[in-house]
């Protein structure tokens, strides 16, 4: 069980002008020291929405709105995209000394904010880039976790509503403010979620923010992976939902969403026919879904990771080889830059055999695991799309297991990679 002790609140970041100057001065020393970094090294920044989740575990569900339902226990955890991806990755990589996981999110000086900081630290994620706003309130959510393993969600987004691109970029600049003479390690990936629930980071503003992040974190020697996770895509107005995302697709290297979200974002037509999957997996998807995935690629998105629930996930790589080559660099070509254009594969979900299931954060874990694999540099981690997807599915499998989700007994990233290399995988979940 996660601990819910309270940590001291952190102070706001240093002035933007000072950090920006330091970022410029540090960039050259950062790339100069790239050759001394191991192939699998580098930092991952997990940014975007956060909230303190109150999980009501083991909820009954009678179907009546006014019924008195029961639950087994109440557990706090750090929720939202920034929190879930950061804690998942930090727990996975605790044994790897050259890996760093940073959180960029906005909190207030309150119980919820202080508790989330403590969760980040317990998992092993750095809180140095978290923005604490004295005038803000930290977001909170109540999540009934039903006995079936599924969940509901009731949330007050609070300071997420006011989190601006300028504040995000200020915190990215803070990444380069480092006491080490060598500067911080190169950033391998920037993970962001959920734009549809963050009104100031949508559409053109989202595109501009991601462009600036890429410019700040990349160099000729090192390209950073930009990954975006969707949640809260409102189907009541598809035009608004599309306008929040589509303008930014050309800046997104990995887009994660589920089937329902893909259909809400569906365009009326797509000029490019879907590619044949490597393993006949396209039969799992409707022609409308395949057409929409193709549309995402047409708008510039390099890779689409589509969650299929108990059916696993679908990975689609752009047919544009030049788009993938944009992620190659002189010093360390990430795995995704080497993928074959047009590849499409299905990845299964894995069964939790003892039955203790908690799906809160499952999609975030899949997204985090895939982004880790896709942005990898080391020879052991030169993964094809199928293995990257399988790794992501294993990460989600551990996160959904009530016995391992909080770190106890959790296999490391390297151990999961060994399972793939040795073909010692769990039982596939039958839909």
Classify residue 177: in a domain, yes or no. Answer: yes
- Answer whether residue 206 is part of any domain: yes
**What are the structure tokens assigned to 275, written together?**
């590619």
pLDDT score at 79: 96
Bridge partners, 42 (sequence order): 99
Q: What is the pLDDT of residues 274-322, one digit of tens each?
A: 444 444 456 789 999 999 999 999 999 999 999 999 999 999 999 999 9
Angle between helices 16-32 and 165-174 in degrees, nearest 10: 50
Residue 33 lies in a domain: no
Residue 140 is assigned to a structural domain of this protein: yes
- Its sign, for the CA torsion 198, 202, 207, 209, is negative
In degrees, to the nearest 5, what angle opens at C-alpha 354 toward C-alphas 353 and 359? 80
Question: What pLDDT does 155 receive?
Answer: 96
Residue 349's CB is within 10 A of a number of other CB atoms, namely 23
The verdict on residue 17 lying in a domain is no
Look at residue 360 in the predicted model and tell me its pLDDT. 87
Answer yes or no: are the C-beta atoms of 211 and 226 closer than 8 Å: no
Structural domain contains residue 246: yes
Q: What is the pLDDT of residues 209-239, one digit of tens each?
A: 999 999 999 988 889 999 999 999 999 999 9
Give pLDDT < 50 ranges for the chain: 1-39, 269-280
pLDDT value of position 305: 99
Look at residue 214 in the predicted model and tell me its pLDDT.
98
For residues 425 and 414, give the distance between their C-alpha atoms in angstroms, rounded to a whole number. Answer: 14
pLDDT score for 424: 96
Is residue 348 one of the residues assigned to a domain?
Answer: yes
pLDDT for position 329: 83
Helices 165-174 + 203-217 axis angle, to 10: 10
Strands 73-79 and 51-59: antiparallel
* Total of domains in the chain: 1
Around Cβ 279, how many Cβ atoms within 10 Å?
12
Specify the pTM.
0.86
Three-state SS annotation for the chain: CCCCCCCCCCCCCCCHHHHHHHHHHHHHHHHHCHHHCCCCCEEEEEEECCEEEEEEEEECCCCCCCCCCCCCEEEEEEECHHHHHHHHHHHHCCCCCCEEEEEECEECCCHHHHHHHHHHHHHCCECCCCEECCCCCCCEEEEEEECCCCECCEEECHHHHHCCHHHHHHHHHHCCCCCCCCCCCCEEEEEEECHHHCCCCCHHHHHHHHHHHHHHHCCCCCCCEEEEECCCCCCCCHHHHHHHHHHHHHHCCEEEEEHHHHHHCCCCCCCCCCCCCCCCHHHHCCHHHHHHHHHHHHCCCCEEEEECHHHCEEEEECCCHHHHHCCCCCCCCCHHHHCCCCCEEEECCECCCCCCECCCCHHHHHHHHHHHHHCCCCHHHCCCHHHHHHHHHHHHHHHHECCCCCCCCCCCHHHHHHHHHCCCCCCECCC
Does residue 32 form part of some domain? Answer: no
- 84-104 residues labelled b (16+ CB within 10 A) or e (exposed): bbbbbbbbbbbeeeebbbbbb
Cα–Cα distance list, 398 to 255, 390, 392, 420 (Å): 22, 13, 10, 14
Q: Give the domain range for residue 302.
A: 43-59+72-421
pLDDT value of position 38: 28
Pairing of strands 225-229, 254-258: parallel
8 A C-beta contact, residue 55 and residue 33: no
Rounded to whole angstroms, the Cα distance separating 296 from 303 reads 9
CATH code assigned at 255: 3.40.1190.20
């Amino acid at each position: 069980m996660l601990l819910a002790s309270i940590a001291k609140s952190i102070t706001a970041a240093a002035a933007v002008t000072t950090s920006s100057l330091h970022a410029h001065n540090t960039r050259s020393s950062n790339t100069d020291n790239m050759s001394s970094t191991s192939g699998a090294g580098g930092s991952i920044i997990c940014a975007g929405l956060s909230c303190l989740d109150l999980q009501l575990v083991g909820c009954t569900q009678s179907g009546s709105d006014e019924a008195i339902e029961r639950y087994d226990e109440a557990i706090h955890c750090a929720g939202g995209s920034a929190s879930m991806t950061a804690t998942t990755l930090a727990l996975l990589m605790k044994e790897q000394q050259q890996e760093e996981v940073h959180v960029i999110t906005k909190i207030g000086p309150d119980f919820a904010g202080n508790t989330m900081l403590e969760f980040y630290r317990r998992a092993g994620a750095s809180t140095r880039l978290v923005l604490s706003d004295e005038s803000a309130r930290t977001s909170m959510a109540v999540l009934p976790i039903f006995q079936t393993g599924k969940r509901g969600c009731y949330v007050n987004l609070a300071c997420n509503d006011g989190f601006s691109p300028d504040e995000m970029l200020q915190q990215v600049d803070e990444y380069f403010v480092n006491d080490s003479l060598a500067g911080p390690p190169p950033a391998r990936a920037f993970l962001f979620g959920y734009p549809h629930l963050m009104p100031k980071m949508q559409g053109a503003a989202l595109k501009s923010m991601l462009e600036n992040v890429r410019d700040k974190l990349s160099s000729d020697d090192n390209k950073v992976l930009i990954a975006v996770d969707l949640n809260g895509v409102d189907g009541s107005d598809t035009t608004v939902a599309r306008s929040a995302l589509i303008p930014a697709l050309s800046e997104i290297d990995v887009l994660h969403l589920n089937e329902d979200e893909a259909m809400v974002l569906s365009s009326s037509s797509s000029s490019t026919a879907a590619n044949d999957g490597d393993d006949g997996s396209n039969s799992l998807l409707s022609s409308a879904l395949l057409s929409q995935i193709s549309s995402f690629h047409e708008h510039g998105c390099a890779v689409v990771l589509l969650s299929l629930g108990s059916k696993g996930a679908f990975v689609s790589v752009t047919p544009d080889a030049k788009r993938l080559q944009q992620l190659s660099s002189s010093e360390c070509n990430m795995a995704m830059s080497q993928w074959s254009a047009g590849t499409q594969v299905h990845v299964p979900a894995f069964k939790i055999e003892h039955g203790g299931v908690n799906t809160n954060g499952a999609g975030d874990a899949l997204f985090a695991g895939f982004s880790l694999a896709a942005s990898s540099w080391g020879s052991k981690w030169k993964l094809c799309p199928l293995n990257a997807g399988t790794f992501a599915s294993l990460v989600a499998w551990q996160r959904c297991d009530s016995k391992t989700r909080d770190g106890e007994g959790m296999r490391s990233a390297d151990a999961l990679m060994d399972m793939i290399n040795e073909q010692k995988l769990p039982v596939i979940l039958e839909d």
